[in-house]
Structure 1
Amino acid sequence: MNMIQQFRKILTALVLALILTTTVACNAVVEAKQPTQLSPGISRSGDYALLERGNSVQGQDFGNWVIGTAKGIVQDAYVRDNNKLGIVITPQVRPTEVRPLAKSLLQGFHKNFPNQDLTVLMYAPDKKLILTSQYDVQTNKIEYK
């Protein structure tokens, strides 16, 4: 049984890395969009609904892409300031799979938001922070906390 679990862990990481790499490469040219304009009559809760995946158009697009691509693994995602990615994983993700998943997401995030330091925050299904991954563009290294 242990060998099956190890195989599942490796397969999950490879499949997600493949999906992130190929989809990001295919979506390298993104059509320019006009920023979302908030009308003066929208309440604070309405503002949040427009910004829940990202506080920029590019961030919203990437957050939506993560949710659409990682079905069954990621239940929620958001991008802030084009350098912070928050991910809420599903209960199906095992604790040993969190770090490889964070690395794969960080690689895809870097391809969409190059030349800057990036942070991926991984949250459990109960919204408690379980892992922080930070990419340093100068050293090209990832640090996990």
Structure 2
Amino acid sequence: MTFFQRSRRWITAIALVLLLTVSTTACSTATTEAPAGSMVGYSQLERGNSAKGQEYGDWVVSAAQGLVSDAYVKDNNKLGVVITEEVAPNEVKELSRSLLQGFRKSFPNKDLKVLVFAPDKAPILVADYDSQSGQVEYSTP
């Protein structure tokens, strides 16, 4: 490996670390939560009750490529998703597993819950993640 190739790898690694540091800091600086006991309309809570939750809910819907029609994050530890008719019944558990993995990366070191709802908004599946044990428990409501 030449000096140029090694230098290029180091510069790429340093740039990646700086990019991740800046983007993580920018995403976590402003979280505006509704005051306890206040009445907040649904339009203000469409995707979450914090700025970070709102952003994550928006991202889930856009990244799901037509599998999720709506998503919300409540209290930065509960992710609710409404799936579309494109999701087959045998794919629901795998989809919830994928959503939980991404949710854990965005909201680390927390006990998390993913609630999956049918297109008619009937509850289908609940995935509970215990951060202490690293285990996921699935249940049907």
TM range (shorter): 0.7 to 0.9
Q: Which runs of 5+ in 1 are unaligned?
A: 1-24, 38-43
Cα distance change on mapping 1:117 and 1:29 into 2, 3 Å? same
Are 1:130 and 2:109 counterparts? no
* 2:113 matched residue in structure 1: 119
Q: CA deviation at 1:47?
A: 2.8
Larger radius of gyration: 2
C-alpha separation in 1, matches of 2:56 and 2:45: 12
Give me the identity figure in percent. 51
Q: Structure 1 residues 49, 100: CA separation in 2 closer, same or farther (over 3 Å shift)?
A: same
Separation in 2 of the partners of 1:65 and 1:30? 18
Q: Distance in 1 between matches of 2:130 and 2:100?
A: 11
Change (3 A) 1:80 1:36: closer
Aligned residue number for residue 3 of structure 2: none
Q: Which runs of 5+ in 2 are unaligned?
A: 1-19
Are positions 1:29 and 2:58 aligned together? Answer: no
Amino acid at match of 1:35: T
Letter in 1 for 2:24: V
Tell me what 1:47 maps to: 41
Corresponding residue pairs, total: 115
Structure 1 consecutive aligned stretches of length 4 or more whose deviation exceeds 6 Å = none
Cα distance change, pair 71–58 in 1 and its aligned pair in 2 (3 A): same
- Scaled by the length of structure 2, the TM-score of the pair is 0.73
User: Which letter does structure 1 place at the counterpart of 2:51?
Assistant: V
- Shift of residue 81 of structure 1? 0.3
Within 5 Å, which residues of 2 pair with 1:92-103?
A: 92-103=86-97
Structure 1 residue 30 displacement after superposition: 5.3
Q: TM-score, normalised by structure 1?
A: 0.72
Higher relative contact order (CA 8 A, sep 6+): 1
Q: For residue 16 of structure 2, what is the aligned residue in structure 1?
A: none
Offset from partner CA, 1:72-101 (integer Å, 9 cap, x none): 100000000000000000001000100000
Q: Call closer, same or farther: CA 1:56–1:62 in 2, change over 3 Å.
A: same
